[in-house]
Structure 1
């Protein structure tokens, strides 16, 4: 198998490949690169992409786990496999990524994370490493609201109509794979072109947007920590970063197309958000009911015999 496959499932890989040293993070080879974020990328301007955030693990060690996009004051979208880190205390870091001293002031805890009901991850280890992932999309709800200049706009354009068009991808993975991974550092931006998915890419995921590096930037690619980051076209998010495959010097990246999940996204957010006010109204009605009963018995004249 001449292709090299990188799926950003660190918690899963730690179990499956615990005998591999920290200097060799990829499945098929030891990588001497010390960069875990977008390789050969450029610093992204936070003001240009204010909705791109980081998912930070805060229990059992600190680290940048995934990238995500906030789509409203309380909701964000990322890759479903990022939920592996949810039990370890995930917080959303929203801005000032170059200054970890401001992390507490600029971070919010995740209240819940909901993966797509058809999300599947299959790993087979018989002679070769076969990984199949489908519907790698998840929503997360924040403990409190986060106000941003603007939020991510999800594209409804069908993925099959995007072929040949340029796109931008943003990621915030850590910088090093050996020793301590610095938490602070700017988001990285890369450029690619949407291309037809080859057989190897389709074997991993059937419904996916595939991108390739531009000829002038062949070394540019996504890497660990960029999972869940947005693929952006015309100012709208068209995909969520899922996996990457390397064929020699050529790199192909796979993104879950958001247009396929818009109905599910709307239904989840609507059901959760509409449920909270109803609960508050029930409590208010209950309090009013007991208050009326109390007033009734208070005004009622005591019954006297004879």
Structure 2
């Protein structure tokens, strides 16, 4: 099946005039790593309350358990990736945590609280976005929402600007143990045309943001669904990396939040 998916992506990209050099995968699907995964590879330790909008998500399903990230966008909604909610029966949410296993607050909800994008495509990785309806949480210095970008910024590519990604877990492709501290990295947004050279235009559509990976700094397993922020606004949801590994200096891909502002508003009522 994987061979078929790769061939289909290649053919789609050729027809669009862009031949991919690499195969993208969702970070949580990278092989050869522990079940509970995560982390910005070669990133920095986050300070207390530096990312109050970051949540840790421990999903459980028939195929086992997996770790993802998410972003608080209101008192009752968390935004994450569709490939995180896909196949899950429940999720335990960790709020206000810099140390991964010591949250200020936690809640568990079932899949009935998931609002996964109806057109999520696991083959092309398109529409990789989900909402989780949560019990209402009170905001504080350690737990707070991140604003969505304004509709007026929908036409911005963000190319050349530096955004920040955050998440927990592995320190490298070969790591066998997770880190307990929330990690972050500043990453430069690149033009989609550049990212298409790696993954093709069937994957890197206008609904995707890519960042450059330099000096082995990238998102990785378990960062899935986590935030990419710019100027205090949520512009991306961690979606894919190179199938060759997180430290290979291939671009990392994010679902472009501005492409889904109407969907978010319709599903949750949350606006910029």
TM-score normalised over the length of structure 2 = 0.74
Identify which of structures 1 and 2 has the higher relative contact order when contacts are C-alpha pairs closer than 8 Å and 6+ apart. 2
Partner of 1:147: 139
User: Which position in structure 1 is the counterpart of 2:254?
Assistant: 255
- 1:186 corresponds to which residue? 181
Q: Distance in 2 between matches of 1:92 and 1:86?
A: 13
SS at 1:266 equivalent: helix
Structure 1 residues 85, 178: closer, same or farther in 2, change over 3 A?
A: farther
The answer for the alignment partner of 1:3 in structure 2 is 22
Q: CA deviation at 1:86?
A: 2.5
Q: Distance in 1 between matches of 2:63 and 2:172?
A: 15
- Structure 2 distance, partners of 1:173, 1:24, is 10
Q: 1:254 to 1:41 in 2, by over 3 A?
A: same
Aligned length: 237
Instruction: Give the secondary structure class of the aligned counterpart of 1:242.
Output: strand
The TM-score with structure 1 as length reference comes to 0.67
Question: Which residue does 2:58 correspond to in 1?
Answer: 56
CA distance in 2, matches of 1:73, 1:115: 19
* Residue 78 of structure 2 is aligned to residue 84 of structure 1: no
Specify the SS of the correspondent of 1:40: coil
Report what 1:275 is aligned to. Answer: none
In terms of fraction of residues, the more helix-rich structure is 1
Q: Which runs of 5+ in 1 are unaligned?
A: 14-19, 26-34, 123-131, 272-306
User: Counterparts of 2:211 and 2:79 in 1: how far apart (Å)?
Assistant: 20
CA change 1:99–1:136 in 2 (3 A) is: closer
Mapping for residues 256-271 of structure 1, pairs under 5 Å = 256-270=255-269
Contact 2:49 2:96 in 1 (8 A): no
Give secondary structure in 1 for the equivalent of 2:266. Answer: helix
CA shift for structure 1 position 45: 2.1
Structure 1 residue 246: Cα displacement: 6.9
Change (3 A) 1:267 1:221: same
The alpha-carbon distance between structure 1 residues 115 and 165, as it changes in their structure 2 partners (threshold 3 A), is same
Q: Considering only aligned residues, what root-mean-square deviation do their CA atoms show, in Å?
A: 3.3
